[in-house]
Amino acid sequence: MLPKLRSYIETAKALHPLLSDFSSDLRRSIRLAGLRYETHHTKDSLVEQLLDLTIALEALFSPSDQTELSFRISQGVALVLGKSAAERKNIFEFAKKMYSERSGFVHGGKDPVETNTITVGDIQHLGDLVRRAILSFGTMFARGERSRANLHKEILLAAFDSVRADELRMRSDIEIFSVERSRSAGSQ
């Protein structure tokens, strides 16, 4: 684990100027998601954690036209993060459930903690998905993507093309990016 951590720290140092530039909408979205992810750790209430984490996902995955928001966000999360068809299905269903619980709370006052429809484990799992999504979007940003709209278009098109989806997952994989950067730094 220590070599991986060192690699991440070196990558972050090398990319500091890039990560400090908030002129693109994609970088601003990554920042908002990161702030909401960090904030959820400070909340005592599971409902507040749920709200922070779903806002983080919306910052990364919400389409500009807002059509079928929870479906499209859940689909995007699943497409980018799921390594297998089964994992994508599980992520999609889980994200839809979290949005349903959030919606019930925000729009109907139904507290998912009181009704035992979300658990501490659910919030931890959602936090893990948000962390992974932030890393994936950050990786795409580090690879040169600056447009949130372009990235959303890629995710939408990946839903219809498995080869494109696999390529998107590879381009957004922090592990692959880190290895490539290490090799690149070693050859210089």
Instruction: Tokens 């960090």: give the residue.
Output: 38
Q: What's the angle, vertex CA 6, arms to CA 38 and CA 2, rounded to 5?
A: 95
Strands (E) across the chain are located at none
| Domain definitions of the chain by residue range | 23-178
- CA proximity to 19, closest of 107, 99, 139, 111: 139
**What are the Cα distances from residue 6, in Å, to 2, 10, 13, 17, 101?**
6, 6, 11, 19, 38
- Each residue's pLDDT expressed in tens, for the chain with a length of 188 residues: 688 888 888 988 998 998 898 888 899 889 999 999 999 999 999 999 999 999 999 889 877 665 578 899 999 999 999 999 999 999 999 999 998 888 878 766 778 988 899 999 999 999 999 999 999 999 999 999 999 999 999 999 999 999 999 999 999 999 999 999 988 877 76
Predicted TM-score (pTM) of the model is 0.80
